[in-house]
Amino acid sequence: MNYEVVIGLEVHVELATASKIFCGCTTAFGGAPNTHCCPVCTGMPGTLPVLNRKVVEFTIAAGLATDCNITRNCKFDRKNYFYPDLPKAYQVSQLYFPICRDGDVEIETDGVKKKVHIHEIHMEEDAGKLIHDPWEDTTLVDYNRCGVPLIEIVSDPDMRSANEVMAYLQALKARLEYLGVSDCKMQEGSMRADINLSVRPMGATELGTRTEMKNMNSFKAIGRAIEFEAKRQIELLEDSKKVTQQTRRWDDNKGVSMAMRSKENAQDYRYFPEPDLTPIYISQEWIDEILAAQPEMPKAKRARYISELGLPEYDTDIITGSKHLADLFEKTTVLTGQPKEVSNWIMGEMMKLLNENEKQPEDIDFSPENFAKLIQLVEKGTINRNTAKKVFAEVFLQNINPEQYVKDKGLQMISDEGAVRSTIEKVLADNPQSVSDFQAGKQKAFGFLVGQAMKELRGKADPAMINALIKELLQ
């Protein structure tokens, strides 16, 4: 029997506000435990929340960028449950009137386009962190993360494969990065995806029982988790067993998902409107203001790169897929006036270096100025491409100033034709066999002579010049 995998996502995104959602503590990542806290975010008796306006603005921006309807009158609700990482024993969230509803994100996989429907986006506060202490077999509680603002983006179960899930997440991430509302770093936890997955026989219309998976810390882990869980559920059904609705924890080291004991029973959260916060009215003016401030989004950027800058579609897709790449590309292009050249460097050498060093575009920490300088050095003929690749690696890793670096290491190309000519004459004199081979018609010998000449010149010559001179001297 053929099965179809049906996937919906609940993506939690930490908003990049400076302060927390209900108090003025910093949202900065890291920090010694319990040093980014106050009586409000640790739920001390008598304390009260006050809403950070920027959280609402960022959320409206996210909703507009995903074509959602903005709920003009919304409010917060309390989600009540007991867990040590939740100091008030309730999380302030939105159930009855979420701020955004009914959006879409278009994705493309294997050349096929489709829209993933966003059911809703709502605001909520993050909980703290639990740290297991193996020495004393207790758990330590750190409330630094309590009160960091989150938006939860809930999709319909519209995805059918790991690829579609990746595409959806990439698209969401790009939009949110472009807006500047979150840095979307999965490894730091500022973007987390919970996967709701079920399977059903191909062609069936009813949804199967779904499980919810948590704790995937990278896009790759998400892919692995989906493959595993789909297989696990299919095997159960083929065995005439039932899939149990439960929450499962993904263990990337072991490559398996396991039922979470603490979440076995469906929780009764006793949601009710939060009395300590006032309702929110979002006027059309406010929406218009936020929309007007929206930066150029991936779709528009893509169209512009293709039509105005003449970049190929493939390159454009990659570069506009990340705000960091797009920013780097644009700033360097402004400095060099050479969009295709910049794009080639990014698509070629830089991608290679990112992969080799297991880094993501957001980890790029070299300046467009240095990048531009490198490109100009090649353009001016100061260094050849081979040298440039080596210098670029240094720019990438250490953000060196290429002009200074080339000077210090003496990497400039030898441009004096006379010097090149005399070196080539020497090479030809030292390799009479190759010369006669070439004159006998063996093209390979020519390459050998070029290589030898380059070696003598320690790589610091323009290959075109060498080629031309050798040809000339062998006439």
Partner 1 sequence: MQITDEIITYVAALARLELSESEEKQTKKDLGDIISYINMLDELDTTGIEPMSHTFDIKNVFREDIVVPSADRDLLLSNAALKSEECFKVPKTVE
Partner 2 sequence: MNLRDLTALQLAQKLQKREVGVVEVTADLLGAIKGAKNLNIAVTVCEKEALAQAEQVQKRLDAGEIHSPLAGVPMAVKDNICTRDINTTCGSKMLENFKPPYNATVMNKLCEADTILCAKMNMDEFAMGSTTETSYFGQVKNPWNTNHVPGGSSGGSAATVAARAAYFTLGSDTGGSIRQPASFCGVTGIKPTYGRVSRYGLIAYASSLDQIGPIARTAEDAAAVLDIISGYDRADSTSLNQPAGGFLAALKGDIKGLKVGIPREYFAQGLDEEVKASVLAAAKQLESMGAQVEEFSLPMTKYAIPTYYIIASAEASSNLSRYDGIKYGYRHEKPEDLIDLYLKSRSEGFGREVKRRIMLGAFALSSGYYDAYYKKALQAKALIKKAFDDAFEKYDIILSPTAPTAALKLGESLDDPLKMYLGDIYTVSVNLAGLPALVAPCGFTQSGLPIGVQLIGKPLEEAALLNTAHAYQQATDFHKKAPLSVEVMK
Applying CB under 8 A, which residues contact partner 1? 17-19, 24-26, 32-39, 42, 44, 50-56, 75, 82-84, 130-133, 137-143, 249, 260-262, 268, 270, 272-273, 275, 277-281
From the list partner 2, partner 1, none, partner contacted by residue 48 (C-beta under 5 to 8 A by kind):
partner 2
Q: What are phi and psi of 241, to 5 degrees?
A: -100, 170
DSSP letters, 142-181, are E-TTTT-EEEEEEE-S-B-SHHHHHHHHHHHHHHHHHHTS
| Nearer to partner 2 (CB atom), residue 268 or residue 285 | 268
| Nearer to partner 2 (CB atom), residue 38 or residue 473 | 38
Q: How far is the CB of 252 from partner 1 (least distance, A)?
A: 14
Q: How far is the CB of 84 from partner 1 (least distance, A)?
A: 5
Q: Tell which residue, 225, 85, 68, 81, has the closest CA to residue 147.
A: 85
Please give the residue ranges that form the binding site for partner 2 (CB under 8 A): 39, 42-51, 78, 80, 82, 84, 87-90, 139, 141, 268, 270-272, 275-278
| Nearer to partner 2 (CB atom), residue 90 or residue 396 | 90
From the list partner 2, partner 1, none, partner contacted by residue 451 (C-beta under 5 to 8 A by kind):
none
Q: Tell which residue, 349, 274, 225, 219, has the closest CA to residue 90.
A: 274
Q: How far apart are CA 409 and CA 391, in angstroms?
A: 10
Is residue 184 packed enough to be buried (19+ CB in 10 Å), middle (13-18) or exposed (0-12)?
buried
From the list partner 1, partner 2, none, partner contacted by residue 43 (C-beta under 5 to 8 A by kind):
partner 2
Q: How far is the CB of 37 from partner 1 (least distance, A)?
A: 6
DSSP single-letter state for residue 346: I
From the list partner 1, partner 2, none, partner contacted by residue 309 (C-beta under 5 to 8 A by kind):
none
The 10 Å CB-count burial string (b at 16+, else e) for 380-391 is eebbbeebbbeb
Q: How far is the CB of 203 from partner 1 (least distance, A)?
A: 38
| Nearer to partner 1 (CB atom), residue 44 or residue 291 | 44
Q: How far is the CB of 266 from partner 2 (least distance, A)?
A: 9
Q: How far is the CB of 41 from partner 1 (least distance, A)?
A: 9
Q: Tell which residue, 124, 131, 128, has the closest CA to residue 150.
A: 124
| Nearer to partner 2 (CB atom), residue 87 or residue 368 | 87
Q: How far is the CB of 211 from partner 1 (least distance, A)?
A: 16
| Nearer to partner 1 (CB atom), residue 24 or residue 295 | 24
Distance of CA 128 to the CA centre of its chain: 24
DSSP letters, 242-287, are PPPP-EEEEETTTTEEEE-GGG-SPP----EE-TTS--EE--HHHH
| Nearer to partner 1 (CB atom), residue 13 or residue 377 | 13
Report the length, in residues, of the chain: 475
Q: How far apart are CA 418 and CA 439, in angstroms?
A: 24
Query: End-to-end distance of the chain based on CA atoms, in angstroms?
Result: 72
From the list partner 1, partner 2, none, partner contacted by residue 393 (C-beta under 5 to 8 A by kind):
none
From the list partner 2, partner 1, none, partner contacted by residue 88 (C-beta under 5 to 8 A by kind):
partner 2
198's enclosing H/E stretch is strand 191-201
| Nearer to partner 1 (CB atom), residue 100 or residue 465 | 100
